[in-house]
Amino acid sequence: MANHSRPVRPRALTSVEIAKIVSGAITACIMAGIPSADLRRVVAGLRELVKNPGARDDSEEGFGDWVVPIAGIVGALTQWNDKQAIVAALSGMDAEWDEIFDPEVVRPPPAAPIARRSN
Using alpha carbons, list the distances in angstroms from residue 29 to 101, 107, 118. 11, 10, 35
Cβ count near 44 (within 10 Å): 16
CB 106 within 8 A of CB 30: yes
pTM assigned to the model: 0.76
The one-letter amino acid code at 8 reads V
Per-residue pLDDT 10s for the chain (119 aa) are: 566 677 777 789 999 999 999 999 999 888 888 888 999 999 999 999 999 887 766 655 667 788 888 999 999 999 989 999 999 999 999 999 998 888 776 666 666 565 566 65
Angle, alpha carbons 23-27-35 (nearest 5°): 115
| Sign, CA torsion 49/17/65/79 | negative
DSSP letter string over 55-101? S---TTTT--TTHHHHHHHHHHHTTTS-HHHHHHHHHHHHHTHHHHT
